[in-house]
Amino acid sequence: MRFRTTVAAAVGALALIVSVPGSASAAVGEFTYVYTDMHGSPQTGTLTHPKSRECITLVEAAGEYVPPAHSPRNRTNATATVFTSRDCDGDHYSLRPGGSAGPLLKLRSVVFS
pLDDT of residue 95: 98
CA Rg, the chain, in Å? 21
Number of domains in the chain: 1
Say if 19 falls within a structural domain.
no
pLDDT of residue 83: 99
Say if 10 falls within a structural domain.
no
Furthest C-alpha separation in the chain: 76
Burial bucket for residue 36 (CB in 10 Å: 0-12, 13-18, 19+): middle
pLDDT at 69 over 90: yes
Say if 92 falls within a structural domain.
yes
- For residue 51, the domain's CATH number is 2.60.20.10
pLDDT of residue 24: 61
pLDDT of residue 17: 43
**Candidate from 17-21, 25-29, 37-41, 96-100 with smallest mean pLDDT:** 17-21
**pLDDT, the chain, mean:** 87
Say if 33 falls within a structural domain.
yes
Say if 9 falls within a structural domain.
no
Map 56-110 to HEC letters.
EECHHHCCCCCCCEEEEEEEECCCEEEEEEHHHEEEEEEECCCCECCCCCEECEE
Q: Please give the residue range of the domain that contains residue 72.
A: 29-112
Which amino acid is it at 91? D
pLDDT of residue 8: 45
Say if 1 falls within a structural domain.
no
Question: What's the whole-model pTM score?
Answer: 0.78
What's the CA gap between 58 and 31, in Å, rounded?
11
